[in-house]
Amino acid sequence: MQKIGFIGIGVMGNSMVRNLMGNGYPVFIYTRTKEKAEDLLSEGASWKPSPKEIAEEADVIITMVGYPHDVETVYFGDDGIFAGAGKGKVVIDMTTSTPTLAKQIFEEAKNHEMDALDAPVSGGDIGAQNGTLSIMVGGDEKAFNKIHPVFSVLGNNIVFQGEAGAGQHTKMCNQIAIASNMIGVTEALVYARKAGLDPEKMLASISTGAAGSWSMSNLLPRVLKEDYSPGFFIKHFIKDMGIALEEAKKMKLDLPGLALAEKMYQSLAEKGEENSGTQALIKYWG
């Protein structure tokens, strides 16, 4: 079995590591706060004190961190992945980051005779737990085929999108679609309550028809329970929307639905909801 290095043990990374170990892969982990990794260490993961040492030990290095600047540090820092690089290794950034940075990582990997894939995911905490993530991959197709068995442990919708950066561009499409959809599903719930409907009965009627969506089926039930815990943080969603808007600007493309969603979520973050899940958009209406 290939030795896997995993950097970033957050809401999704934790479950992804668990799935890899459950399928027999030896996994070495690093995160900035070691306490967050204690459960995984007790279950058999091995700790390394830096991304550099992860890269020295592992055959495949997966990163799942917060922001593009975190990705840059993890790969290019003094104790980063490329400081411990080795011929034939594969690096996979599963963070939602920028296409430009994905291309930089790809080019630097080539300089070290390594392969690099950008492979952001969709599916939230539920998809990570169940190993049913959608994985959007950019980079070299031969490297993609080589790593496919690893991806298949983490997801069940795994599509090679094209050259380096294509995975990140595809994730931007995903986030653009979710952004406007989240406005729609939460507005529907606000309307139902104002009209005196039973929200659960309303959802039973519309969630399996043309209005149905993943967000409606998986996130609105949490809203009804007043559960705003993060399957995906608002602060990270704002980051993603910002990337998408910046990429759209470069292409001279106007995306008014995305701009509205970013504005609404930004107003929630300013009220202290940045660490809530994206379903907390319902609080925009008070």
Q: How would you classify the pairing of strands 121-122 and 133-139?
A: antiparallel
Report how far apart, in Å, the C-alpha atoms of 216 and of each of 7, 183, 221, 233 are.
Answer: 31, 11, 8, 17
Q: Among residues 171, 239, 249, 271, which one is catalytic?
A: 171
Q: Which of 152, 173, 177 is nearest to 162 (CA)?
A: 173
Terminal CA-CA length for the chain: 52
Residue ranges in the chain assigned as alpha helix (H): 13-22, 38-42, 51-57, 68-76, 99-111, 124-130, 141-154, 166-194, 199-206, 214-218, 220-224, 234-250, 256-268
Q: Verify whether residue 201 is a known catalytic residue.
A: no
With residue 7 as reference, give the H or E element that holds it: strand 4-7
Q: Which residues are catalytic?
A: 171
